[in-house]
């Protein structure tokens, strides 16, 4: 959840729990190219040959008084104007980031001449930034810290901000997430994100933050547990007044608990609606939440909640090198947190017959980390396919939307022959499932090989955006792409423009994600994605190699082999034999022709 400004208004901690005036590992850059000249003296403000003060005056006049030309713009012209304004805002935001970093350095230099302490220098810089940005000191301090990371360690994200490839809110969310890690890891995250930027352009801020969390966890799995412990120490609840006699309750709690709360409220709301309750789904959830906390009414009946968690086999076989787990509809969390819940569930299961640990295999496309699955023959999406789409999409697949999935949509309508399948299914929120009435059209587009799927959205007047499924293994797909590029470059001059970020970990095979829905769930891994062995070479597994049975024995969990249908989609893979799969280690069958 977003940090409550009131909670840190007087805090001296502005950079991931460290004092902002002593940023760890962050040294000011020593030199810059000459670049564009900037003049800012009094009322004069110019960049290069552009008089920004004059531009601002014209824009103020247009904003206050309007214009006949503006009123006569076509729809296409108006959307082009809005897109241009959005691009200008993004470019100005990048300039503002550099200006804030320079302000901090200049203030510190001045304070040094005054023989003032670094702490006082940081406080002065925060106050100056606060007045210039018209923000509180706490918010200005966080802005300074985030911009410092972007300018000094993340040139790719700063470029994406300046060029408008990502929304400023998304870029600053990335910078905020980098607070507790070293500059070296920030640079590696920046490199991976820059290489995968095309797939993120039309994503919501929440999905981009989840993508970053997966990369960060994969790059630094050992640090993930410590970061989680530090964040857990900062758990809190705040209540703030909003408009018209209402209030907002915010709680920062462990992710699995939050997922359970939301699932419990949602299930109870759906049951109430099915019983004839005329309140809206969100209204019922809010009322149940308040009733449960204040002891009013019946609250929520205790029930077994099916909370799905997606996890890789690598995490179970080699916990020291675990990937982030993904909670269904919520996002990534550290594996250690999930493992603790699995242990608790196993201990509870001995006395509680309602506690179950159900294992299901899922396969991912080794090239882009998306799940591939089966199809159904009915109009309504069956539970298994609905669950799979929810796991594959996590949040609403409409452009820029991070709302929870509420409905499954046929991209090609059933009435026009559209099948009920993963290929033709799209998880959407209630609002975006009304796309036809909003004048939007949606279609599936394939890549040049006809394999990977992108969903294109087009408005009535031609504005386009595209969305894909969630990449559950962003670092793995980046590394495979870099190695493929390097192998192609071996036949000619040049090397890969994307060197492999960080050393390859033990057990860092190109493994797919697998899921285990359950009250507190465990995992059933699928076959690994293609390794880097020659075609046809068997994947050797030493006799002493850890198996999935050993991993579950260590967790004191029972391994249940559930029958599953082989996916009809997805590339042919080959990898480590996990000893318990009923099929061969060659993975799911290839795409239909």
Both structure tokens of 566: 């082989």
Taking only the tens place, the pLDDT of each residue in 147-158 is 999 999 999 999
What is the arithmetic mean of pLDDT over 436-463?
81
- Res. 548: pLDDT tops 60: no
pLDDT the model gives residue 487: 77
What is the arithmetic mean of pLDDT over 13-36?
47
Confidence band, pLDDT 50/70/90 cuts, at residue 75: very high
Instruction: Please tell me the distance from the alpha carbon of residue 49 to that of residue 38, in angstroms, as a whole number.
Output: 9
- In terms of average pLDDT, the best of 175-184, 390-399, 431-440 is 175-184
Q: Between vectors from CA 23 to CA 21 and to CA 28, what angle results, nearest 5°?
A: 100
Radius of gyration of the chain (CA): 26
- Res. 500: pLDDT tops 60: no
Instruction: Please tell me the distance from the alpha carbon of residue 309 to that of residue 327, in angstroms, as a whole number.
Output: 4
Helix axes 474-489, 205-219, angle to 10 degrees: 70
Q: How far is CA 480 from the centre of its chain?
A: 20
Taking only the tens place, the pLDDT of each residue in 549-564 is 444 444 433 333 333 3
Q: Are 440 and 458 in contact (CB under 8 A)?
A: yes
What is the arithmetic mean of pLDDT over 474-494?
74
Lowest mean pLDDT among 202-216, 269-283, 435-449: 435-449
pLDDT the model gives residue 359: 53
Q: How far is CA 345 from the centre of its chain?
A: 27
Q: How far is CA 378 from the centre of its chain?
A: 32
Instruction: Please tell me the distance from the alpha carbon of residue 263 to that of residue 257, in angstroms, as a whole number.
Output: 10
Strands 363-364 and 371-372: antiparallel
3-state DSSP assignment of residue 313: helix
Of the chain, the percentage scoring pLDDT greater than 70 comes to: 65
Confidence band, pLDDT 50/70/90 cuts, at residue 94: very high
**321: which DSSP letter?**
G
What is the arithmetic mean of pLDDT over 265-290?
91
Nearest to 367 by CA among 593, 155, 186, 591: 591
- In terms of average pLDDT, the best of 183-192, 463-472, 513-522 is 183-192
Q: How far is CA 456 from the centre of its chain?
A: 20
Over the chain, what is the mean pLDDT?
Answer: 73
Confidence band, pLDDT 50/70/90 cuts, at residue 345: low
Strands 247-252 and 236-241: antiparallel
- Res. 329: pLDDT tops 80: no
Greater pLDDT, 490 or 410: 410
């Amino acid at each position: 959840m977003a940090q409550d400004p009131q909670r840190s208004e007087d805090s001296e901690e502005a950079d991931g729990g460290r004092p902002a005036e002593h940023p760890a590992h962050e040294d000011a850059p020593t030199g810059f190219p000459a670049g564009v000249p900037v003049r800012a003296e009094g009322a004069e403000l110019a960049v290069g040959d552009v008089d920004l003060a004059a531009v601002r005056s014209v824009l103020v006049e247009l904003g206050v008084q309007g214009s006949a030309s503006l009123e006569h713009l076509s729809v296409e012209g108006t959307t082009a104007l809005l897109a241009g304004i959005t691009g200008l805002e993004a470019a100005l935001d990048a300039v503002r980031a550099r200006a804030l970093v320079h302000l901090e350095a200049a203030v510190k230099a001045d304070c040094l001449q005054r023989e003032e302490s670094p702490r006082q220098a940081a406080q002065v810089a925060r106050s100056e930034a606060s007045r210039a940005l018209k923000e509180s000191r706490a918010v200005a301090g966080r802005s300074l810290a985030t911009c410092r990371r972007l300018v000094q360690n993340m040139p790719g994200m700063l470029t994406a901000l300046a060029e408008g490839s990502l929304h400023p809110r998304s870029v600053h969310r990335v910078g905020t997430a980098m607070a507790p890690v070293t500059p070296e890891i920030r640079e590696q995250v920046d490199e991976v994100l820059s290489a995968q930027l095309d797939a993120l352009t039309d994503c919501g801020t929440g999905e981009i933050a989840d993508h970053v969390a997966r990369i960060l966890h994969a790059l630094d799995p050992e640090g993930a547990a410590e970061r989680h412990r530090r964040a857990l120490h900062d758990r809190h609840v705040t209540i703030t007044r909003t408009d018209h006699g209402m209030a907002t309750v915010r709680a920062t709690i462990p992710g699995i608990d939050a997922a359970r709360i939301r699932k419990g409220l949602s299930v109870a709301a759906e049951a109430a609606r099915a019983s004839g309750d005329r309140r809206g789904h969100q209204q019922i959830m809010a009322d149940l939440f308040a009733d449960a906390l204040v002891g009013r009414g019946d609250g929520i009946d205790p029930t077994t909640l099916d909370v799905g968690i997606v996890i890789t086999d690598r995490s179970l076989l080699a916990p020291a090198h675990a990937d982030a787990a993904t909670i269904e509809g919520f996002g990534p969390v550290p594996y250690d947190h999930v493992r603790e819940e699995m242990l608790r569930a196993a201990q509870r299961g001995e006395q509680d017959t309602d506690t179950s640990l159900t294992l299901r295999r899922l396969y991912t496309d080794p090239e882009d980390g998306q799940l591939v699955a089966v199809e159904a023959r009915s109009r309504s999406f069956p539970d298994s396919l609905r669950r799979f789409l929810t796991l594959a999409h996590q949040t609403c697949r409409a452009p820029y939307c991070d709302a929870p999935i509420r409905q499954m949509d046929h991209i090609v309508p059933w009435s026009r022959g559209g099948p009920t399948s993963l290929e033709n299914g799209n998880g959407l929120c209630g609002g975006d499932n009304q796309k036809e009435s909003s004048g939007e059209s949606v279609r599936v587009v394939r890549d040049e090989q006809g394999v990977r799927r992108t969903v294109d959205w087009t408005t009535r007047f031609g504005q386009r955006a595209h969305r894909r499924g969630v990449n559950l293994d962003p670092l793995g797909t980046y590394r495979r792409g870099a190695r493929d590029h390097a192998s192609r470059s071996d036949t000619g001059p040049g090397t890969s423009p994307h060197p492999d970020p960080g050393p390859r970990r033990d057990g860092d095979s190109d493994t797919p994600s697998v899921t285990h829905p359950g009250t507190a769930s465990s995992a059933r891994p699928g076959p690994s994605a293609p390794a880097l062995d020659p075609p046809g070479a068997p994947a050797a597994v030493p006799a002493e190699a850890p198996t999935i049975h050993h991993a579950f024995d260590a967790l004191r969990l029972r391994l249940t082999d559930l029958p599953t249908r082989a996916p009809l989609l997805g590339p042919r893979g080959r990898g480590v034999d996990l000893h318990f799969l009923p099929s061969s280690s060659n993975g799911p069958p290839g795409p239909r022709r």
